[in-house]
A and B are shown apart, each in its own frame.
Chain A
Amino acid sequence: MTETLEITPQLVGIILCGALAIIGGIGLITLRKAVHAALSLAFVMVNLAVIYALFDAALLAAAQVIVYTGAILMLFLFVIMLVGVDRTESHREPIRGLKPTAIVAGIGLCALIILGVGSALTATPVGLESANATWGGNVESLAVLIFQSYVFPFEYISALMIIAPVGAMVLAHGARLRPKRTQADRAAERIAAYAKSGAHPGPLPNAAVTALHDSIATPALLPDGSISAASVAEAMVERDAVVNTQWVAARTAERFAELNGEVEPAVVTPEPLELIDTDEERGALK
C-alpha cells in the first residue's frame, strides 16, 4: 500500500468535530450534575450533525439537530427539571473496583473495534455524488428509498411512533389515590357543614371596594365596622400583605370632608398603606 496520505477538507472537518465530540462525551460521563451532562451531550450531537453533513447526508444532519438536540435533549432537560436537578448521586461503589475495571474494559473494546474494523477498511470510498444525483438530491433520493424499497419498515416505525407516546402516557400518568371531588360533592359537603356547624354555605364575601384602594388585598368591612377575615385569602394574611381597611376608611372619610368643604383642603402627601402586619391586628381578623 503506497498511496500517499491525502488531507481532504472532509478529513480535517471530521478530525476537528470528532475531537470536540470526544471532549463532549468525556464531559457527559465526568460532570457531576445531570444538567451539565445533558448540555455536553447536546454539544456532541451538534458536532455529529456537522460530520453527517461532511458525509453528504444533508437530511440526516438536519434531523440530527432537530430530533436529537431539539426534541430528545429537551425532553431530557424537562425530566431533569421534574425529578430535581440538585440530586447528586451517591459516591458509594456497589461493586469494588468497578470504575477502573470499566475504564480498562472500555479502552480495550475501543482498541478491539478500531483494530478489527480498521483492518477491514481496504476498499476505496465511492462517495455519494452519483447516489445523491439519481433523483436530483439527497432528500429526494432518500425519499424514493424510504417510500419504495423501505416502505414497510417505514410503516412499522410509524406504528411504533404512535404506540410509544401512548405507552409514555400510561406510564407517566399517576394513579388517583382518592376519588375526584365533583362539584356536586363539594355542594353536599357545604350543606352538611351548614347543617352541622352553621357554616355559611354560600360564596365568600368580596374584597372591599373603596375610593382609595380596591385591590384584593383590602378586606371588606362588616356592618359593625370590623374587618371580615373571610374576604381575603389566608395566604395574604400570612404574608402581611393585607391592607387595614379601617385605616383606608378613615382616610376616605377625611377626603370626603375636604370635598364637602367641612375642613380646609390639605396638601395630600402620599403615605404608605397601613398593613395588617402585627400579631395583635392579625388576631382581630376573625
Chain B
Amino acid sequence: MNPTLLAVVTLAAVLFCIGLVGVLIRRNALIIFMCVELMLNAANLLFVAFAWAHGGLDGQVAAFFVMVVAAAEVVVGLSIIVAVYRARRTTSVDVPDALRL
C-alpha cells in the first residue's frame, strides 16, 4: 500500500465528508453551495492523484472538465440564489417552502 496514495485518499474522503456535513447542517444557501464546491474539489483531488498513480493524463483532463462544469454551475446557482433573495428577501434554505406537502 502506497503511503502517498493512502494519504491523498484520506484527505479527499475527509474533505468530501466535511462538505457533506456542511450541506446537511448549514441553513445559509450560499454556504451550502460552497460546501458543494468543496465536495467537487475532493473528487477532483482524487482524479489528479489517480492520474499520477496510473501514469496517464486522462484523469487530469477529467479534473479540468469538472473545474469548467463547476464554474458554469456556480454562475447559474448564484444567480438562482440572487433571484430567490429578490423574491423572498432571504438566503436561508428553510424559508422557501412552497413545494412542501
> Which A residues have a C-beta under 8 Å from some C-beta of B?
1, 5-8, 10-11, 14-15, 18, 21-22, 25-26, 28-29, 34, 37-38, 41, 44-45, 48, 51-52, 55-57, 59-60, 63-64, 67-68, 71-72, 75-76, 79-80, 82-83, 87, 89-90, 92, 94, 98-99, 102-103, 105-107, 109-110, 113-114, 117-118, 121-128, 130-132, 138, 141-142, 145-146, 149-150, 153-154, 157, 160-161, 163-165, 167-169, 171-172, 174
Contacts and interface: CB of A to CB of B under 8 A. Distances in A.
Contacts of A68: 37, 41, 67, 70
Interface of B: 1-22, 24-28, 30-31, 33-35, 37-38, 41, 44-45, 48-49, 51-58, 60-61, 63-65, 67-76, 78-83, 85-86, 90-92, 94
A28 B1 contact: no
B10 A114 contact: yes
Contacts of B74: 72, 75-76
Contact of A21 (B15, B51, B63, B79): B15
A145 B2 contact: no
A138 B17 CA distance: 31
B57 to A, nearest CB: 5
A126 B54 contact: yes
Nearest to B15: A25
B13 A22 contact: no
Contacts, number: 255
A160 B69 contact: yes
Nearest to A170: B79
Contact of B55 (A28, A131, A149, A157): A131
* Chain B contact residues: helix, strand, loop or mixed: helix
A153 B63 CA distance: 13
A174 B49 CA distance: 44
Contacts of B3: 5-7, 11
20 contacts: A18-B11, A25-B15, A25-B18, A29-B26, A37-B30, A41-B34, A45-B41, A51-B48, A55-B8, A68-B41, A89-B28, A89-B92, A90-B92, A94-B27, A94-B94, A128-B52, A128-B57, A132-B57, A168-B78, A171-B79
Given A15-B7, A48-B41, A55-B48, A90 B72 contact: no
Nearest to B52: A55
B71 A98 contact: no
Contacts of A160: 68-69, 72
A51 to B, nearest CB: 7
Given A22-B18, A168-B79, 6 more contacts: A18-B10, A82-B85, A102-B20, A107-B17, A126-B54, A128-B51
A106 B34 CA distance: 17
A72 B37 contact: yes
B13 A142 contact: no
B11 A157 contact: no
Contacts of A94: 27, 94
